């Protein structure tokens, strides 16, 4: 057989596999429809009692199907609790008592001044039949701020996934048969590639199916808990004059110590700057004073009259005349004394 014919046979085999898989699903539906139609025909051929009994059976079947619906249930509860850690331990024990487990936890510490409070969340997974009991137990743990429950029907998704898995598994079995019968290398590689794709799709759908089934079997309850925020502290301060004498004295001593320490620290900080910048300034000022003192002329001593002047406003006209007369007499007396000294000197010189 040529390669082209082998490829044609392989393509026809794959096409027939897909057709057979679709026919198997529709055949099952047709069988169910035929069974239903047969029952309906039996009910119609019977009397009215048979029709009534068939109607009751249909209602019972519908109720059974409603009970068999696959539902994912999730809930959220917000609580205000007295102690976060204690409430978390209580809920952990409660979910374990109902056959569940703790999935995730989170905790946050809030601070305001010297006060702190804790908030966080805890995620509980519990069997679906015990969800309501756990919800009521959770609400009793603290003050409920908010509560909600959501349900999502995934029955159709699970049925679709299961049908696709059946078809893919049948296709995988057929490809394995073709792989065993293939002799040509190209055919083997083609079948192997197709088989790998089918197997990957099967694994993906199985993982999705398992995830949906787990969510249906175990409901999820997320509990948000927060401690009450403490009220801010308000301290009333007394007037300063209401302080006791001993307390005031002790506080004053403390203030003196603080001031002294501050001055000492400030002096320690300022000392390097004073030494670095003050020393040159003092040296320059000293040199300037020394040079200025050497260059200034010596002023003559003032006379008694100049040092102690008598104000004209305080002396009258007569007193001023008397003062001038006294000065003239003093001047004449000093002149006579000098003249006598000169005469005496000349006489002594003559005697020699």
Rounded to 5°, the CA angle 212-216-219 comes to: 125
- pLDDT for res 241: 65
* 142, burial (CB in 10 Å: exposed 0-12, middle 13-18, buried 19+): buried
Tell me which DSSP letter residue 142 carries.
Answer: S
Q: Tell me the C-alpha distance between 167 and 26, whole Å.
A: 12
- pLDDT for res 313: 45
pLDDT truncated to tens, each residue of the chain (352 aa)? 444 445 545 555 555 555 444 444 443 343 333 333 333 333 333 333 443 444 444 444 444 454 578 999 999 999 999 999 999 999 999 999 999 999 999 999 998 878 889 999 999 999 999 999 999 999 999 999 999 999 999 999 999 999 999 999 999 998 888 888 878 888 788 888 888 999 999 999 999 999 999 999 999 999 999 998 887 766 555 666 667 777 777 778 878 888 888 889 988 888 888 888 888 888 888 888 888 876 555 555 544 444 444 444 444 445 555 555 556 666 666 666 655 555 555 544 444 4
- pLDDT for res 240: 64
- pLDDT for res 124: 95
Q: Tell me the C-alpha distance between 70 and 161, whole Å.
A: 13
Q: Tell me the C-alpha distance between 264 and 258, whole Å.
A: 10
User: 227: which strand partners?
Assistant: 81
Tokens at 228, concatenated = 């009450």
- pLDDT for res 347: 46
Cβ–Cβ < 8 Å for 70, 156: no
- pLDDT tens-place string over residues 173-208: 988 888 888 788 887 888 888 889 999 999 999 999
- pLDDT for res 7: 54
Cα–Cα separations (whole angstroms), residue 3 to 10, 16, 17, 108, 193 = 10, 20, 21, 70, 18
Q: Tell me the C-alpha distance between 306 and 325, whole Å.
A: 18
CA atoms within 13 A on the CB side of 26: 6
* 194, burial (CB in 10 Å: exposed 0-12, middle 13-18, buried 19+): middle
Tokens at 313, concatenated = 């406003």
- pLDDT for res 72: 93
Cβ–Cβ < 8 Å for 84, 63: no
- pLDDT for res 182: 78
Q: Is the pTM here over 0.85, yes or no?
A: no
Cα–Cα separations (whole angstroms), residue 206 to 160, 162, 192, 215, 329 = 12, 9, 21, 14, 148
Give the DSSP H or E segment for 74. Answer: strand 71-81
- pLDDT for res 133: 94
- pLDDT for res 248: 75
Delineate the domains of the chain, giving CATH numbers in brackets.
70-154 (3.30.70)
């Amino acid at each position: 057989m040529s390669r082209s014919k082998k490829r044609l046979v392989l393509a026809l085999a794959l096409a027939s596999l897909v057709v057979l898989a679709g026919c198997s699903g529709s055949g099952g539906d047709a069988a169910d429809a035929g069974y239903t139609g047969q029952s309906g025909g039996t009910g119609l051929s019977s009397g009215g009692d048979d029709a009534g009994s068939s109607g009751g059976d249909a209602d019972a079947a519908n109720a059974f199907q409603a009970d068999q619906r696959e539902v994912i249930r999730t809930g959220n509860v917000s609580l205000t609790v007295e102690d976060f850690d204690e409430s978390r331990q209580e809920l952990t024990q409660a979910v374990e008592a109902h056959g569940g487990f703790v999935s995730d936890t989170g905790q946050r510490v809030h601070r305001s001044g010297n006060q702190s409070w804790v908030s966080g969340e805890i995620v509980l997974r519990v069997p679906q039949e015990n969800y309501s009991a756990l919800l009521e137990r959770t609400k009793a743990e603290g003050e409920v701020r908010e509560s909600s429950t959501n349900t999502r029907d995934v029955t159709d998704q699970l049925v679709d996934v299961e049908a696709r898995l059946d078809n893919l598994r049948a296709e995988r079995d057929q490809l394995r048969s073709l792989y065993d019968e293939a002799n040509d290398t190209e055919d083997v590689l083609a079948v192997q590639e197709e088989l790998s794709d089918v197997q990957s799709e099967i694994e993906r759908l199985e993982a999705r199916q398992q995830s949906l089934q787990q969510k249906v079997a175990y409901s999820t309850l997320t509990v948000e808990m927060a401690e009450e925020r403490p009220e801010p502290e308000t301290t009333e301060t007394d007037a300063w004059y209401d302080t006791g004498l001993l307390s005031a004295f002790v506080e004053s001593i403390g203030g003196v110590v603080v001031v002294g320490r501050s001055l000492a620290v400030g002096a320690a900080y300022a000392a390097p700057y004073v030494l670095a910048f003050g020393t040159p300034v003092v040296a320059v000022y000293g040199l300037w004073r020394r040079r200025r003192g050497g260059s200034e002329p010596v002023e003559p001593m003032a006379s008694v009259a100049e040092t102690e002047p008598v104000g004209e406003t305080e002396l009258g006209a007569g007193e001023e005349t008397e003062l001038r007369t006294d000065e003239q007499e003093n001047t004449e007396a000093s002149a006579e004394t000098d003249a006598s000294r000169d005469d005496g000197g000349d006489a002594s010189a003559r005697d020699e």
